[in-house]
Amino acid sequence: MDAEQLRENAHKMVDFIADYYKNLETFPVLSQVEPGYLGKLLPDYAPNHPESLENVLADVQSKIIPGVTHWQSPGYFAYFPSNSSIAGFLGEMLSAGFNIIGFSWVTSPAATELEVIVLDWLAKMLQLPEHLLSPGQGGGVIQGTASEAILVALHAARDKVLKKVGKTSLPQLVAHASDQAHASMQKACQIAGVHPENCRLVKTDSSTNHALSPDVLREEISKDIAAGLIPFFLSSTVGTTSSTAVDPLSSLGKIAKDNELWFHIDAAYAGSACICPEYRQYLDGVEEADSFNMNTHKWFLTNFDCSLLWVKDRSALIQSLSTKPEYLKNKASEVNMVLDFKDWQIPLGRRFRSLKLWMVLRLYGLENLQCYIRNHIKLAKHFEDLVAADSRFEVIQLLQFGHSSVMILLLPDSATIIRPLIYGSLNFVKEILFLIVVPCVFALVCFRLLPAHDDQDCGNKLNQDLLDSVNSTGKIFISHTVLSGKHILRFVVGAPLTEENHIISAWKIFQDQTTFAKETKYT
């Protein structure tokens, strides 16, 4: 690589990216292209001769950007966020610059050592128990994703229990989580050879705000043991994907301890909020965890990918995942003086990801990071308030879905009959209800439109139509979930550029799409 060529081209690329951010709000947030669009625009074969960067960037502008969904747009409110920041971006650049593969300490000592230090910093910010930090028997490691984090934890737990009960007992092993746990739990079971029927997703409902009930879990575990099965793994979630439900860690941790289960905590999204003292309570009970995970690439200003996993007993992980081929042997590893993170993960190769996290922590500092989180939560509450405060809406019922849930009624403004939003496949809907389904704890607002009469299919269609209609404006992008059979709209505040005006505009889009359908399409 020629250093001067790099300087010249990298400057052009930085200019291109800076312009992208400058123009971000001019693009439809959700890409509006049809499947297969790109094959029609690009040649069938790679070029024989080099092309200019200018030509490639022109194609990015005209052909690639239309097919990009803009996760960094301030109008992005879907799924969970995937934060980018200047610090995260610079860290990624530096990592690309060094381009080391830090699988063993010796392959780049700074990569391993910085990772240990930064994970300990984060553990202290989250007030994780001492035994998850590196000076003890545990420690932290950066995985690519939360899915890999749960997989390696489950793998280690499986091997630990099989050592005790014998390898032939694999078909009897049972893993537990709630039915709200992320699908990565099922995938981890699949890969680790846990029988599909033994991946138990314990049913939750609105009576616990979709959190895992310790009583129900205890009962299930007793039944499994009575049936000759071997429960070995319990995964709990702080901030479930559908509705940010928080499982009761202290009670679950006790159940795990009583039954000798590996206790994993998945705080992939909500873990970030727990750096604020007022949200730390959601981690109470983490003292019992065998492993704990949070994704700094979601809501912590660290560019993808950067998923943090801490374990209480690193030897369990290492015994489960280590290999010692001749071609990787080196003195430092042989005499056990160092950590080799290749033995804490699935692949051999690993990027220098701690650089970007280190830069985020240093360039922003704890106080700014706390303000960042608090601001998003404040904006989400604002959105929740807007739903409730609109003059056409009336709070008609409390306590339906937990202590602070509200049901909101959009008053019919005339005798107008409102039909559903886009397809007209539903019959008459006389009035529309907005329901805030679960209290907004972090920065996710779950709500839905209700048809006046209690027909679940009708309500689900109505909400699917509203979602499609709102997303087709290109101004915002939201996603959905299903809770207790009901189609719910999810509105997550978390893009770094989102400000109050974007929240107000977003709510107006919901109002317009509802009113538009009412006034122009079906009256």
Nearer to ligand PLP, 182 or 448 (CB): 182
How near is the Cβ of 151 to ligand PLP at its closest, in Å? 9
Per-residue tokens: 378? 């404040």
Sites of contact with ligand PLP (CB under 6 A): 80, 145-147, 182, 184, 237, 239-241, 266, 268-269, 295, 307
Nearer to ligand PLP, 154 or 426 (CB): 154
97-119 exposure pattern, b = at least 16 Cβ within 10 A, e = fewer: eeeeebbbbbbbeebbebbbebb
Q: What is the dihedral of CA 478, 482, 488, 493, to 10 degrees?
A: -40
Nearer to ligand PLP, 184 or 209 (CB): 184
Nearer to ligand PLP, 81 or 459 (CB): 81
How near is the Cβ of 241 to ligand PLP at its closest, in Å? 4
Cα 78 from chain centroid (whole Å)? 11
How near is the Cβ of 336 to ligand PLP at its closest, in Å? 31
How near is the Cβ of 360 to ligand PLP at its closest, in Å? 17
Nearer to ligand PLP, 84 or 237 (CB): 237
Question: How far is it, in rounded angstroms, from Cα 460 to Cα 117?
Answer: 48
Nearer to ligand PLP, 146 or 289 (CB): 146
Amino acid, res. 399: L
Residues 6+ apart with CB under 8 A from 345: 141, 143, 148, 152, 321
DSSP 469-502: HHHTTSS-B-EEEEETTEEEEEEE---TT--HHH
Nearer to ligand PLP, 224 or 266 (CB): 266
How near is the Cβ of 83 to ligand PLP at its closest, in Å? 13
How near is the Cβ of 202 to ligand PLP at its closest, in Å? 16
Question: How far is it, in rounded angstroms, from Cα 208 to Cα 512?
Answer: 34
How near is the Cβ of 267 to ligand PLP at its closest, in Å? 7
User: Is residue 247 within 8 Å of residue 181, measured between CB atoms?
Assistant: no
Nearer to ligand PLP, 187 or 218 (CB): 187
Question: How far is it, in rounded angstroms, from Cα 271 to Cα 249?
Answer: 13
DSSP 1-29: --HHHHHHHHHHHHHHHHHHHHTGGGS-S
How near is the Cβ of 183 to ligand PLP at its closest, in Å? 8
